Amino acid sequence: MSTLQIKKLYTLSSENRKFCFTLPLRNKIRIGKRDYVVSLKSDEKYGTYILWKNRKYPVEIIRSRQNSYEILFNDISYTFTVETPFSMKRMKVLNATKKKVEQESVKAPMPGKLIDVCVREGAVVQRGEPVVILEAMKMQNEIQSPVSGTVTRILVKPNANVMKDDLLVEIKVD
């Protein structure tokens, strides 16, 4: 990719909010009629942070895959995809032809021990119905089905220790 061809970048949040930045990327952001300096800093005491309007905000890059970034900013995580004007166009075309999701997987939201599997393969579940019970840090957590559908595969057994994001159950969406 050459810098010369690209004039701006679109940064899209997972909740579909769009931020547009012109290139070359400046360390100033315009709010209303004023420019505010944003700077990325790091030191021994605070670690990495962003300084904005005389206030420090802790930041961390949690994950980066191709053009997708998960940023932890002031204890809240955001996932963005950064698109060039070309990839943005391509994405729009793709989205228009994209089919509905058919398979949904339930993943472990945290590391822990699996106490119980509440469903069987082939069972019909409603959205919000508990599918497994996971114990982590003194608490039992019901992991609920994100969709209504049919359980196609159970990948774990009770008493198993699971890691964060381990695949637990697969559900075919109705």
Partner 1 sequence: MKIKKILIANRGEIAIRIIRTAKQMKIRTVVVRAAVEPNAMYLEYADEIYDYSEELPEIPVFLDIEKIIEIALNTGADAIHPGYGFLAENAYFANKCLENKLIFIGPDPDSIYKMGNKTIARKIALANGIPVASGSEGNISNIEEAITLADKIGYPVIIKAASGGGGRGMRIVRKAEDMEKFFIIASKEAEKAFKDPSVFIERYIENPKHIEFQILGDKFGNVIHLGERECSIQRKHQKLLEEAPSSALNSDLRQKMGATAVKIAKAVDYYSAGTVEFLLDSDNNFYFMEMNTRIQVEHPVTELVTGIDLIQQQIQIANGNTLNIKQEDINLKGWAIECRINAEDVQAGFAPDPGKIENLSMPAGPDIRVDTGITVGSSIISSYDSMIAKLIVKGKDRKDAIKNCKMALDKVWIKGTKTTLPFFRMLVRNQKFLEGTFTTAFIEKDIEKYYLNSEYEEMLAAWLATKMFVEENLEENSIQVDFENGKEMSPWLMNKRMNQF
Residue type, 105: S
Structure tokens at 15: 């909740």
**Least distance between partner 1 and beta carbon 32 (Å):** 12
Residue number, 1 or 96, with CB nearest to partner 1: 1
Residue 131 CB-density burial (10 A; 0-12 exposed, 13-18 middle, 19+ buried): buried
Residue number, 99 or 157, with CB nearest to partner 1: 157
Residue number, 100 or 119, with CB nearest to partner 1: 119
What is the SS3 assignment for 174?
A: coil
> Interface with partner 1 by CB under 8 A: which residues?
1, 3, 6, 9, 11, 13, 17, 19, 21, 23-25, 27, 29, 31, 38, 40-42, 45-48, 50, 52, 56-65, 67, 69, 71-78, 80, 82, 109-112, 115-116, 118, 133, 135-141
**Least distance between partner 1 and beta carbon 83 (Å):** 9
**Residue in the block written with tokens 């159970």:** 154
CB atoms within 10 A of CB 49: 20
**Residue in the block written with tokens 């709010």:** 31
**Least distance between partner 1 and beta carbon 99 (Å):** 28
CA gap 138, 134 in Å, rounded: 10
Best CA proximity match to 78, nearest among 12, 20, 146, 29: 12
Residue number, 53 or 99, with CB nearest to partner 1: 53
**Least distance between partner 1 and beta carbon 114 (Å):** 12
Residue number, 75 or 102, with CB nearest to partner 1: 75
CB 95 within 8 A of CB 111: no
**Least distance between partner 1 and beta carbon 93 (Å):** 21
